[in-house]
Structure 1
Amino acid sequence: MTEERLHHITDDQHRIGIHYWPAADNDSRGVLVWLHGMAEHGGRYGALAEHLNAQGWHLYCPDHRGHGLSISESCPKGHYGDNDGWQRVVDDACEVLAWAQARHPRLPCVLGGHSMGSFIALGAAEQAGESLAGLVLCGSDYNPAIYYRMMQLPIRMVRLKNGKRGTSGLLRKMTFGTWAKQVPEPATDFDWLSADPDQVQQYIDDDLCGFDCSTETWFQLSQGLRKVHSVAQLSELPETLPVLLVGGEADPMSHMGKGMMALESVMHAMEQPVEAHFWPEGRHEILNDCCRDEVHQVMAEWLQKRVTTA
């Protein structure tokens, strides 16, 4: 298995870095474009690539603006950009998706993402879902609009105080800090990510993980969440688009899995074809947790159905 590093220049001349793990040409069955979470990067998905490559799936993991290979002067670490950041990262996902489809025109293409990446993937699917064979949302969440409006109040305050590119200890305490406190007897501040101490240490040792995002990125994310989870936007998903939800019931970010279960209920109510799998001991990064082999297998089996029905 070999990782290649590619790039794509967007319509606004931003350079997106892309981690690519190709499947063998004579065994290609499909394409998965995977979007990483907040304060991490696409290069962390090699284990997923190894499993899916063996099943004939190409894996593309672009780095979002302000993350990994996509850090730049206009998008420094943790910063989507000074203006329209949410729409730009959603448009980036749509551009990479179209680019990957052009590279593999005869293969089914699935879009997926973890955590923040799942929200961006949902937004992209609402915008360009007709071209997709499926959508995978991992470690995701769902809350009513009032929740996001309340979230924006302290974000607006610290953005005004610290500037769009500034960071905030208050926002870290409200998010990463709050989630860390929900893990019994944590050894580190990041045990809420995984019950596997080796995986947690790899995250801590990675200079491109665990950093504070800008106040503007938090503001844009809160706006994006309110938008993609609205009934109006969820109605934009193609009615026959298959959706796979995977998450942990010990994930503090998703209210111990209740957020993903709420999303499943909403999608069922809207008659979206949805399949959900939750792991009782799984924390936030189930792809790097003790249940990861089971998660990989569930994803591979679900992706195989996208080949037979494409």
Structure 2
Amino acid sequence: MPHVREHVLDGTHGTLAVRQWPHPAPRCLALLAHGYGEHAGRYGELAARLTGHGAAVYAPDHAGHGRSAGERVLIEDFEDVVTDVHTVADSARAAHPGLPLVLVGHSMGGLIAARYAQRYGDELSALVLSGPVIGAWELPGRLLALEEIPDVPVSPSALSRDPAVGAAYAADPLVWHGPMKRPTLEAFARTLDTVDRSGDVHGLPLLWLHGDDDRLVPLPGSRAGVERLSGGRHTGRIFPGARHEVFHETCKEEVFAELLAFLDRVLPR
């Protein structure tokens, strides 16, 4: 694994903990947006593949997640989270001016990344969405219809066919293992609608990665959202049997190969 550095930035709701996997002479910058309830530290292997391919990698813990400030998993407005990610991007560009920027978003991070591309797409060279919460995701509506949000955490077995992934997730003290919170669900619903109504990303190269056995963010709902976001112009790869976290799946070598080949096609040499 490459050496990881950590620093803090001022975010919209307090301090943001940011991990950085440096490269001595990067050819691009990669910005990672993690999913709900987790943290950027779970993306060390992805960062290693990217730094090995010439990227300097930056990844914040979103507000209320990991080592960043805020009530745990409370997000009242995803626009603020997008602004935080943009703050990290500005910091990365200041350290490495002139390099192309790639944004990789997983799950909730895919929703954040999609909205980021709508707001700041002219600053991106490529967008990668992994199991993205985009399009028709029914969970917020189902839970908000209930009088009380049930205390049902994410099932570790839904993440990957590799049992070690679920075991590490279950034992991780920086992962949230409690119930979802109503304001966060309401913010999900609003932002899904905002992304749906805010148009496509005007030809920005987009790679969509998804497992066809994703039980947390089902494939059909994401497909509809990706089609709208990309205007039908995207590269998609669906992995048979894979669950939600394709970067942690038993087929991860295929996933990494797909990602790196895409970057080679769309980034300037």
* CA deviation after TM superposition for structure 1 residue 286, in Å: 0.7
CA contact (8 A) 1:41 1:209 kept: yes
Query: Counterpart of 1:180?
Result: none
Deviations 1:253-288 (A, max 9, x none): 232x222332343346x25x3111110111001111
SS at match of 2:127: strand
8 Å CA contact retained: 2:111, 2:134: no
SS at match of 1:234: coil
Cα separation, 1, equivalents of 2:98 and 2:135:
37
| Contact 2:108-2:133 within 8 A present in 1 as well | no
CA distance in 1: counterparts of 2:19 and 2:139, whole angstroms = 32
Give, in whole Å, the separation in 2 of the partners of 1:69 and 1:121: 20
1:262 and 2:224 aligned = yes
With the length of structure 2 as denominator, give the TM-score of the two structures. 0.91
How far residue 61 of structure 1 moved from its aligned partner, in angstroms, is 1.0
Q: Which of the two has greater helix per residue?
A: 1
Unpaired stretches in structure 1, ≥5 consecutive residues = 159-167, 177-188
- State whether residues 196 and 228 of structure 2, in contact with CA within 8 Å, keep that contact through their aligned partners in structure 1: no
1:198 aligns with 2:164: yes
**Superposed structure 1 runs of 4+ greater than 6 Å apart:** none
**Partner SS for 1:34:** strand
Matched, 1:78 2:69: no
Instruction: String of CA shifts for 1:23-68, please: whole Å, max 9, x gaps.
Output: 2x23x11111010000100001110111111111111110101001
Aligned match of 2:241: 281
Query: Is the Cα contact below 8 Å between 1:245 and 1:260 reproduced in 2?
Result: no
Residue 38 of structure 1 is matched in structure 2 by 36
Q: Which amino acid aligns with 2:160?
A: S
DSSP-derived class of the 1:126 partner: helix
Secondary structure at 1:106's aligned position in 2? coil
Does residue 1:208 correspond to 2:171, yes or no?
A: no
The correspondence for 1:169, drawn from 150, 170, 179, is 150
- Check whether the contact 1:248–1:284 (CA below 8 A) recurs between aligned residues: yes
- Asked whether the equivalents of residues 212 and 242 of structure 2 are also in contact (C-alpha less than 8 Å), the reply is yes
Q: Separation in 2 of the partners of 1:281 and 1:134? A: 27
Query: What is the CA–CA distance in structure 1 between the aligned matches of 2:267 and 2:79, rounded to whole Å?
Result: 30
Which sections of structure 2, spanning at least 5 residues, go unmatched? Answer: none
Distance in 2, matches of 1:128 and 1:87, equals 12
Q: Distance in 1 between matches of 2:144 and 2:43?
A: 34
Is the CA contact (8 Å cut-off) linking 2:157 and 2:163 kept in structure 1? yes
Counterpart of 2:92 in structure 1: which amino acid?
A
1:308 CA displacement: 2.2
Q: C-alpha separation between the residues in 1 aligned to 2:220 and 2:244?
A: 12
**Deviation digits for residues 161-191 of structure 1, max 9, x if unmatched?**
xxxxxxx326x37xx4xxxxxxxxxxxx321
Conserved in 1, the CA contact under 8 Å of 2:136 and 2:221? Answer: no
Q: How many residues get paired?
A: 267
**Counterpart in the other structure of 1:154:** 145
| Pair member with larger Rg | 1
Q: CA deviation at 1:94?
A: 1.8
> How far apart are residue 149 of structure 1 and its match?
8.3
1:110-151 residue CA offsets vs partner (Å, 9 max, x unmatched): 112100000011111111111100111101144359x58844
Deviation at 1:154? 2.1
Task: Confirm or deny that 1:302 pairs with 2:267.
Answer: no
Give the alignment's TM-score, normalised by structure 1. Answer: 0.79
- Correspondence for 2:10: 9
> How has the CA–CA distance of structure 1 residues 112 and 202 changed in structure 2, closer, same or farther, with 3 Å as cutoff?
same
Distance in 1, matches of 2:196 and 2:159, equals 24
Alignment partner of 2:210 out of 222, 231, 247 = 247
